[in-house]
Amino acid sequence: MTDVMSRPNAECPDDCPGLADAGVDRQDPGTGERLNRLRAAVLGANDGIVSTAAVVVGVAGATSDQTTIAMSGLAAVIGGAVSMALGEYVSVSSQRDSERAMGLPAHAQVNPWSAGIASFFSFLLGAALPFATALLAPAAWRIAAIFGITLVALALTGALSAKLGGAPVGRSVARIVVGGSLALAATFAIGSLFGANVG
């Protein structure tokens, strides 16, 4: 086995140890890395939508002050994007270490930098939707608008995630929309309770 795993990828047979387990197509060395970036991007966008929306809805439930909502949302966007990128980098670095231990050639290994960068920018894009809504929507229907935009965005990312993973679209969309709705409802309830107690 050691001899087989030490061969160049072009000489490795179809049942070469490590390749199938890592989900890498021997005929297309870039497949694993492309899937790595797509996965990181989808997760980053989804997290950006949910976490930012949850923060701005929670703060909007406590106060109608636009500056407070904007500053809280901006902190959530920046902190969340950096955190997501670091998390992806660490996670994919561990995966790359495992791939090296299995003997995968360098061109077939995942890249933690590309995963972290993809996650960072997709988080920003996802977060931009609820954040912009919180800033631009009239105060009278700000919370409803954030809920609506967030759930539509989650449905889209859920459908994309299902398509990429070959999973049933309806089930994936339902899970992510229900989960996002619960997160928004919980943070809004906490913010409203906090606002009522302060008032």
pLDDT of the residue at 108: 82
- pLDDT on residue 195: 65
pTM score over 0.95: no
Position 36 scores a pLDDT of 77
3-state helix, strand, coil in the chain (%, to 5): 80, 0, 20
Instruction: Extract the residue ranges of the chain whose pLDDT is less than 70.
Output: 1-30, 195-199
Per-residue pLDDT, 28: 54
DSSP 46-60: HHHHHHHHHHHHHHH
User: Which letter, b or e, does each residue of 105-132 get, where b requires 16 or more Cβ atoms within 10 Å of its Cβ?
Assistant: beebbbbbebbbbbbbbbbbebbbbbbe
Burial of 145 from C-beta contacts in 10 A (0-12 / 13-18 / 19+): middle
pLDDT of residue 10: 42
CA distance linking residue 155 with residue 160, whole number of Å: 9
pLDDT in tens, 89-108: 999 899 889 988 998 888 88
pLDDT at 197: 46
**pLDDT digit string (tens) for 48-85?**
999 999 999 999 988 889 999 999 999 999 999 999 99
